[in-house]
Amino acid sequence: MIVLGPHGSFIIAAYAFAVLALIGLFVWILLDLRRQTRLVVRLEAARTMHTDDSASPTP
Amino acid sequence: MNDLAAPSGLAALANPSKFLALAARLLPWLSAATVILLVSGLYAAFFIAPPDYQQGETVRVMFIHVPSAWLSLAIYTMMAIAALGTLVWRHPLADVTIKAAAPLGAVFALICLVTGSLWGRPMWGTWWVWDARLTSMFVLFLMYAGIIALAQAIEEPTRAGKAVAILVLVGFVNIPIVKFSVDWWNTLHQGASVFRAGGPTLDPSILWPLLLMALALSCLFAVMQLLAMKAEIARRRARTLAILAASRPASRATIGR
């Protein structure tokens, strides 16, 4: 195991902050992508349904 | 009409579906490269690089601090080029690039500031000084925050894109200040030791783990940038579909009149 010396807590804190910040950013981007993709799918489906309704002949 | 033609390689990506297809092809390779490079880089930083003769083990903070600083500068430079793409060539993906990159640049700038502070406390005896390098880096972080705020404040994407592009170009003046602050002013922060006229002053045993970590974080940035751009393109598509959906009853009423 590596010995980080008397200032080990500063080194660990620096890497811990960087890891947390990058993981947080990555998760935020993935959640945003999933939310927007689902929204597009829902709106596309509604649009298709509307087009089908408009296209169907009225009695 | 815009008379200036965009560079041909970039013009091909003007169609978002072409960009999305390219992103889908690149993402698995970039993700794999990121994992391999990060594992190798962290191993080299902690187990291969020797302690510094003056700073001891504390030098290991450099392997996250310096690449974060480089990336925050490189991301802003990329945003400035994209801002030209928005204002000069009106490239459809240029403002998408800026909007996606700004939070990433902000996080890398924040990591640089926080890790620098954690490195400075044991080495300089202080968490923070208002010297030219630290202050200009803090200004860079504030620029990123301002760009994010402005992009959120204007709802219409084209108008937001133009306003943000102008702000990005104005803020670009800070990039050479950050880079050359250690040469222009007497700072507590040390001078350049990698990208300098006489070549790197770092020993190769410390230099190559640093470059490996820089490559790893660059790949991580590329992955996150592509994902964030995909999200932004989807957001704009959703907006267009929502506007179309909202205008339907009105258009039907107009036709029926």
The CA distance from A2 to B44, in Å, is 12
From residue B63, alpha-carbon distances to A14, B13, B119, B198 in Å are 10, 35, 11, 22
Which pLDDT belongs to residue A5? 81
Whether residue B4 lies inside any domain: the answer is no
Whether residue B8 lies inside any domain: the answer is no
The CA distance from A1 to A4, in Å, is 9
Quick check: B256 pLDDT over 50? no
Average pLDDT over residues B109-124: 95
Tokens of B215: 């490559």
Whether residue B191 lies inside any domain: the answer is no
The CA distance from A54 to B32, in Å, is 47
Quick check: B251 pLDDT over 90? no
Tokens of B64: 């996250």
pLDDT bin (cut points 50, 70, 90) of residue B257 is: very low
Average pLDDT over residues B199-207: 84
Quick check: B47 pLDDT over 80? yes
- Closest approach of B115 to chain A, Cα-based (Å): 5
- Cβ neighbours of A58 in B, within 8 Å: none
Task: Give every residue of chain A whose pLDDT is below 50, as ranges.
Answer: none
Which pLDDT belongs to residue A51? 74
Q: Alpha carbon B176 to chain centroid distance?
A: 16
B245 contacts chain A (CB < 8 A) = yes
The CA distance from B39 to B216, in Å, is 9
A21 contacts chain B (CB < 8 A) = yes
For residue B150, with 0-12 CB atoms within 10 Å meaning exposed, 13-18 middle and 19 or more buried, which class applies?
A: middle
Which single residue is written with the structure tokens 């760009």? B147
Task: Please tell me which of the candidates A10, A21, A28 has its beta carbon nearest to residue B122.
Answer: A10
Q: Alpha carbon B251 to chain centroid distance?
A: 43
Is there a contact between B107 and A3 if contact means CB atoms under 8 Å apart?
A: no
Quick check: B253 pLDDT over 50? no
Segment among A8-22, B42-56, B106-120 with least mean pLDDT: B42-56
Quick check: B101 pLDDT over 50? yes
pLDDT bin (cut points 50, 70, 90) of residue B12 is: low
Is there a contact between B68 and A44 if contact means CB atoms under 8 Å apart?
A: no
Tokens of A57: 């002949």
Query: In whole angstroms, how large is the CA radius of gyration of chain A?
Result: 25
From residue B43, alpha-carbon distances to A15, B12, B63, B213 in Å are 13, 40, 11, 10
- Cβ neighbours of A3 in B, within 8 Å: 57
What value of ipTM does the predicted structure carry?
0.88
B38 contacts chain A (CB < 8 A) = no
The CA distance from B212 to B224, in Å, is 18
Domain ranges of chain A: 26-50
Whether residue B7 lies inside any domain: the answer is no
Q: Print the domain residue range for B91.
A: 17-186+203-256
Overall domain count for chain B:
1
Whether residue B79 lies inside any domain: the answer is yes
Measured between CA atoms, the residue of chain A closest to residue B226 is A29
Task: Please tell me which of the candidates A10, A21, A43 has its beta carbon nearest to residue B107.
Answer: A21
Which pLDDT belongs to residue B102? 97
Tokens of B169: 């170009």
B11 contacts chain A (CB < 8 A) = no
Nearest CA to B213 out of B231, B194, B240 is that of B194
pLDDT bin (cut points 50, 70, 90) of residue B168 is: very high
Contact B104, B221 (CB under 8 A): yes
Average pLDDT over residues B237-248: 88
Task: Please tell me which of the candidates A3, A5, A32 has its beta carbon nearest to residue B231.
Answer: A32
Average pLDDT across chain B, whole number: 89
Residue-wise pLDDT for B55-79, tens only, equals 889 999 999 999 999 999 999 999 9
Cα dihedral value B201, B203, B204, B205, nearest 10: -150
- Closest approach of A59 to chain B, Cα-based (Å): 17
